[in-house]
A = this chain, B = another copy of it.
Amino acid sequence: MAEPDFILRENCPQRRIHYILNGKWTSMVLSVLSYGPMRTGQLERALPGISKKMLTQTLREVESGGLVHREVFHVVPPKVEYSLTPLGIRFVEPLSALYDWAKDNAAALDELEDNLRRSAEAASKQGE
């Protein structure tokens, strides 16, 4: 019953960092904001497929975490600008690394998805 040398305990940093990876959009919102402050509409257009609901929900979450600052300009029509806080900037660092890796390794992502497709086909042939 050899215990493994490496245990990812319940509250280890490796698990806790998943906070910013949990939501479908969280890490993408942070990543986009790393290019500078942005208005709501710009964020919306930078993330094709996101709904108004998910955008505001995600922004409220990262704001609660102190990662993003929300600045309201009291004008009509409304203007709201979001930007990373210093803490947010720190958290974007590992995300950028992750995304840079992804851009440099698109071929590996292709391979992964080919494998998944093939194994899904094989599974459906079984069911016939």
Interface residues of A (CB under 8 A from B): 1-10, 13-19, 21, 24, 27-28, 31-32, 35, 38, 41-43, 45-49, 64-67, 87, 90-91, 93-94, 97-99, 101-103, 105-106, 108-109, 111-113, 115-116, 119-120
Contact = CB atoms under 8 A, between A and B. Distances in A.
A45 B2 CA distance: 10
B94 A102 contact: yes
Q: Which 10 A-B residue pairs are closest in the complex by CB-CB distance?
A: A66-B115, A13-B102, A94-B101, A17-B102, A64-B119, A4-B46, A14-B99, A4-B42, A16-B109, A13-B106
Nearest to A24: B18
Given A7-B45, A13-B109, A116-B65, A98 B98 contact: yes
A121 B93 CA distance: 29
Contact of A113 (B3, B16, B42, B43): B16
Contacts of A35: 4-6
A3 B48 contact: no
A8 B116 contact: no
A103 to B, nearest CB: 5
Contacts of A94: 97-98, 101-102
